[in-house]
Structure 1
Amino acid sequence: MVTADELAQIHGRMAEAGISNAGAYMRKMALNGYILHVDLAPVRELVSLQRRCSNNLNQIAVHAHTYGLYPEEIDGLKEDYEKLWGQLSGVLKELAALVGK
């Protein structure tokens, strides 16, 4: 039994946690006292970038063994890895800020 304002706050917290089932939310809160909702979208993007870089590197290695190496291919790899490490740096800074709180 809660007031309308309390119910609205509960629904707001449920939405923040990404939980739509009130019973599941109440059980989680009663047992753990907290809920963590982690947005892993930046990590998923890093994994995707890493896979692309790995695939490109493998393709270039096969090509290099067969035909030799072209500077444009190396430049493309450098750009991919710079993008990957730039995003990784951003994610690490965000995590460090969260840990520091």
Structure 2
Amino acid sequence: MPDRTRPIRKEICLNEQELNLIQHKMRQLGTHNFGAYARKMLIDGYIIKVNYTEQKKLAAAVSRVASNINQICRRINQTGRFYAADIAELKVRQEEIWSLLKESQKQEL
């Protein structure tokens, strides 16, 4: 194949345990292409794949809470009835949620 972009070929020999370990790591990464995986590992030495699923769920929950707080504030502004302690409590709770989100993200990274 003279028109290959990678004409240099390298081969490795593995035992069954090593092959299973490599295949397991490839599954964890979500790749099926051994050549691409091997090149990436040989050149960079490591691959980091971060799963932000939990952070996205937490951020969505925080967004919903913030939206609810805004709706309550609008209704209070329209009717003119509110309790300062309730508003302060809502602000404190929202700040707690944001702090939890930030802490969770720090721990992930």
Give the TM-score normalised by structure 2.
0.62
The letter for the 1-side match of 2:36 is A
The letter for the 1-side match of 2:94 is Y
Aligned pairs, number: 96
Equivalent residue of 1:35, what SS?
Answer: coil
Match of 1:8 among 2, 20, 38: 20
The letter for the 2-side match of 1:23 is G
Match of 1:67 among 62, 75, 79: 79
Match of 1:94 in 2: 107
1:14 Cα offset (Å): 1.3
Asked if 2 retains the 8 angstrom alpha-carbon contact of 1:19 and 1:25, the reply is yes
Taking every aligned residue pair, what percent have the same amino acid on both sides? Answer: 33
Q: Which has the higher helix share?
A: 1
**Distance in 1 of aligned mates of 2:98 and 2:105:** 10
Match of 2:8 in 1: none
Give the TM-score normalised by structure 1.
0.65
Match of 1:27 in 2: 39
**Distance in 1 of aligned mates of 2:97 and 2:81:** 22
Superposition CA RMSD, Å: 3.1
Tell me which structure has the larger Cα radius of gyration.
2
**Distance in 2 of aligned mates of 1:38 and 1:55:** 28
